[in-house]
Structure 1
């Protein structure tokens, strides 16, 4: 089992060293701090392809992340935080809709390699930013989108008042586009629905823009999605612009190493620190702040004590960092043993911020009572599927059924986080039960497409074609 006590000790030391340990204020003080704002700001920070143990607070051996750690020491670290998919566009579909990505055609391309104009979220679908906007928030996305192409399916069409970031799934940190065959492709960096020319290191640009959004927030509460593309490939730090100019393909696997990965992550941490400082300077420290990742880590990431990585339904591919700070709502240093998955953020954050239930039908659960200590952990069943290599998984309580190709397994992931003690041959009743549950759930999801994109998009979006 994870030694949470040692992690907590390490977390407190890291936070103290950074001078960043936050103390939760009484609920009344938190409400008073909003001034004329009816609700606190919500800052949702997400890394790209970050492993569970890539933060010093979650166990990294060589990466120091004092700013990000302070979110956890000022609130809670969720050691059972999951993504709904082991790849990014699918997991982002679940986060923004509060539902399993398998309910939407855009969620079935894993990952979404191309962004055809017709592929995107349903126009009438309630979204995380859209619900906050309806509640009176100003909403902004800074960073990666990867859920469709503007102007039909960009961020402005799905709940955000403003957008500054990259449209596609990745971008060079200096060229601000993905590079194929030595040439930039796609829309790349955009502002609103238009491409944007800018200079600078992308992580720094996103951090600076997030600070501007906070400084310009005014009397309205702010819902800010800060979706860094770090530490996603290509493997570049602030001093690597010359490398970017000679890059032939952003996916070049000959680049990168542990030191470069640590550098990229620590630059992101610096920018998170600037965002937290901007909140303090603006008198908006009552903000609810979340830090997580879209899926498990890739090549150079650390996923200990889990095995597996991005693209796999082993714990290392779907267990992600989960840190939440909510002064006056979540006590600093809270230890919350609650499984939470990406689609839970919509109902949970909305209730945590407004005290109301989000209007709509969601697969995600409102876990605000668990985060605030008002209720015990809730039992639940979580499902996964991933088309590559025919993968399936279901977790119920401590048990996890896992299918990897033609191999099936049964693990107790609370007692055995490494997924090494296989009960498949000795607990056939549990295997049968979990497989039946998965089959019933899977029947509710859209089947993976078999035809061409043009055929599928006409089927799922008949009103547009």
Structure 2
């Protein structure tokens, strides 16, 4: 009977997956970087010409009151992909480059959007900036993506395939999967190429796809193509505006390919920015302040959702929305059953609040959120942030008195009315304090913590050359200054697979060894060549590895 029940459950799950996949829309989330609130034509810009992004917006829903989860890059992306407030999971800072600390980045214990979409039958692809951690477990291909083309850190030179990191005496690379890419021309256009390639691959596989296209434009450094620069734009804005032109070209090409491939009406596109515009050229007017601030200019972002044939075009949505709503929205678009949904999510499905083709009114009415809140404690436990409830917004400082604004009449937050409305101010402050009580201090800092692991690797007999069929032995001594027990893992690979070895186990096919987890190992190579032997030690939090290169001859 138990076996019958197992088979019945498996059959039901497969039937659900097969039936639902037929009707599942493709999803493209385009996230640009540090875009000013005013820096698109549809947002009212005087000098930015963005006809294709403007058309994308007008073909669907313009969310006028949409917010990023945080006011700068890494925490904002942690919130989007976990569906949880960044400070609730301790992701308060941009993740430093750290291959050895499992805590640095989007916490590994939280399920991500691509993992959910994979389980729902989607092919999942990540293109562009990652910025959610460097350790092996944090790599995009280990967090739910079938394909990855991009870089791991927070910014990039648009014309380079690699960048030198003087702090670690190391290099950062553009990766395709786990492999380095060497043919970068202009990275915004390269990302568009990769995105179209992944869409074409999913079409060939006849699978619905989820594509996260994370352009790093117009984030600094401001590097643009001469052909994109408009001489009528002021010199201090010219390169920044040209970078937006390259984004607009990308949107044009992607929508053009969808049309050519017959995928337009079955593809949802979301376009937004990870936070407010930066000081390097961006204009956030009429909002106050810039990236990094809890005023509107740091958090409120352009946001458009288009689904031709399903969502009525020309909509303007003025209710509160946050990127935390993207995860639950995609769960429902993917047809995830209630008992399979991520229980940690705090957002709402936005689609019922939009008018669909042929409908006179949305399915859902009323507010999307009773309030939205931001911020949390620093490493010392001192908190600051903001809360918005309808037209009212309170800004909470760490040392100064809180401020109150009426965004309906004062979108630029020019007049603090806290003294005029003390009851409203106190209610919002109480609401935010209660909400913030569930947030936690950062689980990682702005800079790397010292790795407590110590490791020595040696070849028995100092033997760096061996013959095929002859075993060669290695010994390692690993320890932790914190007294933790360490676990050993061994790998051997050819030198060109060094990056692949960082991010996953690449034990060479055909090679035999006496042990994979002991502190010593013997390896027999069946074919000649140069090989790297790597020993990894790790605890629950920390990793460390050492390499030695050997030569195998006939």
TM-score range, shorter chain: 0.7 to 0.9
Aligned equivalents of 1:456, 1:448: Cα separation in 2? 18
Q: Deviations over 1:380-415 (max 9, x none)?
A: 211111678964111112111103452421011122
**Correspondence for 2:390:** 397
Aligned equivalents of 1:173, 1:182: Cα separation in 2? 21
**Correspondence for 1:188:** 173
* More moved, 205-214 vs 435-444: 435-444
Query: Judging changes above 3 Å, is the alpha-carbon distance between structure 1 residues 183 and 260 closer, same or farther for their aligned structure 2 residues?
Result: farther
**Correspondence for 2:463:** none
Aligned equivalents of 1:200, 1:184: Cα separation in 2? 25
**Correspondence for 1:210:** 195
8 Å contact kept, 1:348–1:366: yes
**Correspondence for 2:408:** 414
The count of corresponding residues between Structure 1 and Structure 2 is: 414
Deviation at 1:305, TM superposition (A): 1.3
8 Å contact kept, 1:338–1:370: no
Q: Deviations over 1:211-249 (max 9, x none)?
A: 111111121001000000000011111249xxxxxxxxx
Provide structure 2 residue ranges, at least 5 long, that are not aligned to the other structure: 1-18, 228-234, 356-361, 453-481, 485-537, 543-554
8 Å contact kept, 1:97–1:346: yes
8 Å contact kept, 1:132–1:223: yes
Candidates 402, 409, 419, aligned match of 1:425:
419
* Larger Cα-atom Rg: 2
Question: Does the alignment pair 1:309 with 2:386?
Answer: no
Aligned equivalents of 2:46, 2:59: Cα separation in 1? 22
Aligned equivalents of 2:99, 2:342: Cα separation in 1? 30
Deviation at 1:309, TM superposition (A): 0.4
**Correspondence for 1:144:** 129
Q: Deviations over 1:222-279 (max 9, x none)?
A: 1000000000011111249xxxxxxxxxxxxxxx821111000111110111111111
TM-score by length of 1: 0.82
Aligned equivalents of 1:185, 1:387: Cα separation in 2? 33
Candidates 293, 304, 315, aligned match of 1:334:
315
Query: Judging changes above 3 Å, is the alpha-carbon distance between structure 1 residues 413 and 204 closer, same or farther for their aligned structure 2 residues?
Result: same
Q: How does 1:3-402 map to 2 (within 5 A)?
A: 37-105=22-90, 107-109=91-93, 111-117=94-100, 118=102, 119-177=104-162, 186-218=171-203, 219-239=206-226, 257-286=236-265, 287-299=267-279, 300-354=281-335, 358-372=341-355, 373-378=362-367, 379-385=369-375, 391-402=384-395
Aligned equivalents of 1:360, 1:336: Cα separation in 2? 27
8 Å contact kept, 2:99–2:136: no
8 Å contact kept, 2:377–2:439: no
Aligned equivalents of 2:444, 2:272: Cα separation in 1? 33
Aligned equivalents of 2:20, 2:393: Cα separation in 1? 46
Provide structure 1 residue ranges, at least 5 long, that are not aligned to the other structure: 1-33, 241-255
Deviation at 1:114, TM superposition (A): 3.1
Q: Deviations over 1:288-309 (max 9, x none)?
A: 0010000000121121211110
8 Å contact kept, 2:87–2:377: no
8 Å contact kept, 2:92–2:442: yes
Q: Deviations over 1:173-215 (max 9, x none)?
A: 0124456669995433111133322220110100111111111
**Correspondence for 2:532:** none
Aligned equivalents of 1:197, 1:234: Cα separation in 2? 20
Aligned equivalents of 2:322, 2:376: Cα separation in 1? 16
Query: Judging changes above 3 Å, is the alpha-carbon distance between structure 1 residues 104 and 187 closer, same or farther for their aligned structure 2 residues?
Result: farther
Aligned equivalents of 1:73, 1:328: Cα separation in 2? 14
